[in-house]
Structure 1
């Protein structure tokens, strides 16, 4: 159940980033609102899988930079994970588009803030 809640939170965060940041777009399914929600949930699933498997490895490999920048390099890692999500989802007919690194940086900042706020509102079952 927690995974599904996190997936919906990620989907909402990605949708909000696409609405607020010029250069981030979500390709429409063309089959109405239900289809668009399914596309958004698919993108969120890819984003969640990237964050579960790839992000820890990248953080481990960039540990000296994380220490040197006092953790600010995490913003760069988040932007790269968003760009990787866009690339992976572009392999399908539906997907996320990100125009460049700075666009991904602003988008990942919005996604991180939304995930933090909604994570506090909807806590895990610990």
Structure 2
């Protein structure tokens, strides 16, 4: 159940950012949900491979190259999902940064309280 809530919150973040940023478009909330699922799958399957392949560059930039990898994941999601569009690499970079920030805010707001044992 926790995974479904996280996906819905991620879709909400995608939907909000698509309306805030000029270069990002998404076709409705269902399209945002599909984008959230595709980004989650790409983060599970493709991102670890990209991190391993670019490990020397990531180490030289002290981890800042991970922002570029996140932007590449967003651009790949743009190519895979028809109702989602990103205009440029810089827009994808800004979108990925803002998406991470907004996701952490939303997840902290809707976080489940741990019951003491």
Q: Normalising by structure 2, what TM-score?
A: 0.87
Unaligned runs of 5+ in 1: 28-35
The 1-side partners of 2:53 and 2:112 are apart by 28
Matches within 5 A, 1:30-49: 36-49=28-41
Unaligned runs of 5+ in 2: none
Per the TM alignment, residue 49 of structure 1 is displaced from its structure 2 partner at its CA by 0.9
The 2-side partners of 1:124 and 1:112 are apart by 19
| Matched positions, count | 114
Matches within 5 A, 1:3-82: 3-27=3-27, 36-82=28-74
The secondary structure found in structure 2 opposite 1:13 is helix
In the other structure, the counterpart of 1:84 is: 76
Root-mean-square deviation (CA, aligned residues, Å) is 1.8
